[in-house]
Amino acid sequence: MPKRILILDTPSGDLRDLAAAFERAAEGSCEIGRVTAVDALRVALRSGLPWDLVLLDIDLGDGETPGLDILPDLRREFAEISIVAVSERGDVERAGKAIGAGANDFLVRTGQLADRAATLLRKVRPHLTLLERNRLLREQNVLLREADRRRYRIVGESPQILDVLERVRRVARIPRPVLIAGERGTGKELVARAIHEEGGDAARPLIVVNCAAFPDTLLETELFGHEKGAFTGADHLVHGKFELAAGGTLFLDEIGHMSIPFQQKILRVVEYGTFTRVGGAEEIRVNARIIAATNVDLRRRMEEGTFLRDLYDRLSFEVIEVPPLRDREGDIDVLARYFLDEFMREIPALRGKRIAPEALDVLRAYSFPGNVRELRTIIERAAYRDTTNEINPEDLGLLADPRHAAEGTTFHEKVDAFKRRLVIEALERSGGNQACAARDVGLPYHQFRYYLKRCGE
């Protein structure tokens, strides 16, 4: 039985008898609404109330526009609602036109109207039950997605980020390596944590290693550990990150920055599940799941011979591409408000701020080379700078940031600006480690330092 029926009537009340017949047939268990204009009908249907059934006369409509002309637009906008076309007289041809225009059923509103109304309500009950079940499932799915986002701290409503979450759910329970690719600041570590948490007991260890932050000699000790006496200063046994991640997940961030010799060592662990500590001879078996991430184009690196194809093949059981912020439809607004709310909760003195529509326009037009991480910094800085309760374009400070200023007019000015951008971005990717940043851009350390000083850093 429908809970709410909406009738499009004429101002003179031509369908008053129809409303009374449905009230009797529903025996008081149904709310009957009545509007007398097409625009009012659309407003009512958009209001959020779950109207189950719409009745309109195919000839009278709202007294100005025939119902047969109203039906197609109504059906396009409200695809799932049940619409019953009524008419003072009925025949096969008229009923066929009504169904063709978008009606679910056809009712003659003369004669034994109360009996016909009762028959129609019994007839539509299974369809309404199915619609209600689908509506509940959609609501549950929305709640589940919200729960996932809260649990994983992956915020966004775009199809691109929902696809990432779906891939996380699918691969999480499969004990195979995963490769996460994406620009800096897109949230690759959040995706890795989501896979780890979805894959089993969240209390299992999750060990994170930034491969770009260590030269090979230190990275080997970091990952594999060392035996007592393996080198000067090794006065006790140290367990590496592979052992510490036993039974859980080892997240190798920025794996594209490893040298070829070290990649071969990682390949052996991925392929055979064994390794030896530095200075040791005993093979140690490891059962940690490996998730790797990179912000470089590994396919290009393979073509250049700087990344092992065999290692890529072993790591890429599933490849999850985390989209850059500029490609996430509608998420800039969502994330900006989310970061502002989080910042205000952290610092109560800043509560009550909002983002002006003009500031959101500026953010949408910006390319965000630093992606979500950069957006968070911009919003927090703007909230701190703002002296009112509304963050305006001036508070964002995008035009004042030298990295986003005009990059010169002459050839040499443009070249210098390009060099400056490469150096600064490499330094950001390496977390401030100048030696790693120099390797990232392919410069000797002293030359990188020279360019860094020219940037004023």
Q: Choose the final residue of a domain: 322, 338, 366.
A: 322
> Does 244 share its domain with 348?
no
> Does 177 share its domain with 313?
yes
d(CA 121, CA 30): 11
Share of the chain above pLDDT 70, in %: 89
> Does 85 share its domain with 110?
yes
> Does 354 share its domain with 278?
no
pLDDT in tens, 437-455: 888 887 887 778 777 777 6
Share of the chain above pLDDT 90, in %: 44
Residue 173 per-residue DSSP state: T
> Rounded mean pLDDT of 83-100?
88
Tell me if 126 is assigned to some domain.
Answer: yes
Identify the residue whose tokens are 């205000």. Answer: 344
Q: Is the pLDDT of residue 111 over 90?
A: no
> Does 74 share its domain with 171?
no
Tell me if 26 is assigned to some domain.
Answer: yes
Tell me if 344 is assigned to some domain.
Answer: yes
State residue 2's pLDDT score.
Answer: 63
Strand 31-35 with 4-8, pairing: parallel
Q: Is the pLDDT of residue 403 over 50?
A: no
pLDDT in tens, 45-82: 887 667 888 999 999 999 899 999 999 988 888 877 88
* pLDDT bucket at 152, cuts 50 / 70 / 90: low
> Rounded mean pLDDT of 6-23?
88
State residue 112's pLDDT score.
Answer: 77
Where would I find the H helices in 199-278?
Answer: 216-224, 241-244, 260-272
Average pLDDT, the chain: 85
pLDDT in tens, 344-362: 999 998 988 999 999 998 8
Tell me if 33 is assigned to some domain.
Answer: yes
Total structural domains within the chain = 4
Q: Choose the final residue of a domain: 271, 300, 322.
A: 322
Among residues 4, 56, 48, 54, the alpha carbon closest in space to that of 30 is found at: 4
Tell me if 425 is assigned to some domain.
Answer: yes
Tell me if 143 is assigned to some domain.
Answer: no
- Least confident window among 49-63, 298-312, 322-336, 395-409: 395-409
CATH, residue 38: 3.40.50.2300
Tell me if 146 is assigned to some domain.
Answer: no
**Is there a contact between 98 and 68 (Cβ–Cβ < 8 Å)?**
yes
Could you give phi then psi for residue 86, rounded to 5 degrees?
-120, 160
> Does 182 share its domain with 111?
no
d(CA 334, CA 280): 52
> Does 428 share its domain with 388?
no
Q: Is the pLDDT of residue 376 over 90?
A: yes
d(CA 298, CA 290): 17
> Does 166 share its domain with 98?
no
**Is there a contact between 258 and 296 (Cβ–Cβ < 8 Å)?**
no
Range of the domain at 94: 4-137
Strand extents, DSSP E, 90-146: 105-108
**Is there a contact between 181 and 320 (Cβ–Cβ < 8 Å)?**
yes
State residue 183's pLDDT score.
Answer: 92
pLDDT in tens, 211-269: 988 888 899 999 999 999 888 888 888 899 999 999 999 999 999 989 999 999 999 99
> Does 131 share its domain with 199?
no
Rg (CA), the chain: 32
CATH, residue 173: 3.40.50.300
State residue 193's pLDDT score.
Answer: 92
> Does 272 share its domain with 381?
no
- Joined together, the tokens standing for residue 84 give 């019953």
CATH, residue 372: 1.10.8.60
**Is there a contact between 324 and 367 (Cβ–Cβ < 8 Å)?**
no
CA atoms 449, 450, 452, 457: torsion sign: positive
> Does 265 share its domain with 295?
yes
How far is C-alpha 441 from the geometric centre of its chain's CA atoms?
31
Q: Choose the final residue of a domain: 294, 322, 350.
A: 322
Contacts of 408 (CB under 8 A, 6+ apart): 414, 416, 417
* pLDDT bucket at 410, cuts 50 / 70 / 90: low
pLDDT in tens, 312-334: 999 999 999 999 999 999 999 99
pLDDT in tens, 170-196: 999 999 999 999 999 999 999 999 999
The H or E element spanning position 207 is strand 206-210
> Does 36 share its domain with 88?
yes
Tell me if 148 is assigned to some domain.
Answer: no
3-class secondary-structure state, position 49 = coil
